[in-house]
Amino acid sequence: MHIFIAPLALILERWQGYPPRLLAQIGHPVMWIGKLLSWLESRLWKEEQSPEQRRVRGMVTMVLVLGTTLIVTLMVRNIVHRIPLGWVLEILLATPFLAQKELGRAVQAVADALLTSLEAGREAVSQIVGRDPQQLDTAGVSRAAVETLAESTSDGVVAPWFWLVLLGLPGIALYKAINTADSMIGHKNERYADFGWAAARLDDLVNLVPARLTAVLVTIACFFVPGASPSRAWQAATRDAMKHRSPNSGWPEATFAGALGFSLGGPRSYDGEVVDLPIMGEGETKLGPYHITRALTLYRMTLNVLLSVSALLALSIALG
């Protein structure tokens, strides 16, 4: 049933997003997962622990988070499958784990803010990236927005959809639990290098296929976007993706860069520490609001391609 739910969930989330009133009243499922992670970290992470102890406790944290997520979603799924029109409720429950509308809105906000001032652009981009915004000029803010858009196309949209199609509501919820854990504790710094090891490795694993699928979807989308090059997109993906220190992030980033004729990546600062990342693509580096808008056009067409693939998959199953 979840194969048929997936395209409807994509349509609903892209149209409506997550209602702000609901967010204010009860929060968001990802926020609930984050609170559970924070609570477990506060009790399991200790300053005096050895690296081995921290790694074990990080594994325990992931087992507890994923176990809780699995139990809750299995219970919910079993309930909705027993009630009339329960599939409609399952669509509603799946949509918060997709991020099509909010991702587009947040990146568009950066382009709009840059038209006002560099300071406004820095403030807007600080809402979607972890790097130090005060170190960025207009081109740096624009590249950060495009890079985040590219990476989040994979882990905010394609990957959740992929696991929804494969495993239904439990699959998409488990994916978001892993992805949230990676963003919170999967850092390679002194505090989390060992405690977040399990979260980081799991995130690499569950994004392995979706990241490469995103590169394919973006390449296909290029055929329908004026000025975008499918050949350069795929060439950049296959040439540059594996240069990235992440086994997955380079795929969507390199594909966007090649498609649009941008150069992305390079040095960036996190909490005062400069991280030297490889260059993705060959082309324009002096990006601005216009280039963000071009990337958003490609992003929206990629969403159209994903929806088409999802609908065709559901139709083939129905007819088969």
Q: Are 223 and 230 in contact (CB under 8 A)?
A: yes
pLDDT digits (tens, 9 = 90+) for 202-249: 999 999 999 999 999 999 999 999 999 999 999 999 999 999 989 999
- Give the separation between CA 222 and CA 239, rounded to whole angstroms: 18
Q: Which residues pair with 116 in a beta bridge?
A: none
Residue 311, Cβ neighbours under 10 Å: how many?
16
Over range 186-210, report the average pLDDT: 94
pLDDT on residue 270 = 61
Mean pLDDT of the chain: 94
Lowest mean pLDDT among 72-86, 94-108, 244-258, 259-273: 259-273
pLDDT of residue 272: 56
Distance CA 154, CA 210 (A): 6
Q: pTM of the entire structure?
A: 0.95
pLDDT at 279: 92
Mean pLDDT within 147-173: 97
Task: Evaluate if residue 273 carries a pLDDT over 80.
Answer: no
3-state secondary structure 113-156: HHHHCHHHHHHHHCCCCCCCHHHCCHHHHHHHHHHHHHHHHHHH
Q: Is the pLDDT of residue 276 over 80?
A: no
Closest by Cα among 247, 252, 282, 255 to 266: 282
Beta bridge partners of 284: 262
pLDDT at site 113? 97
- Please tell me which residue, 196 or 2, carries the higher pLDDT value: 196
Q: Are 260 and 245 in contact (CB under 8 A)?
A: no
Q: Is residue 115 pLDDT above 70, yes or no?
A: yes
Give 192's contacts (C-beta < 8 A, 6+ positions apart). 185, 186
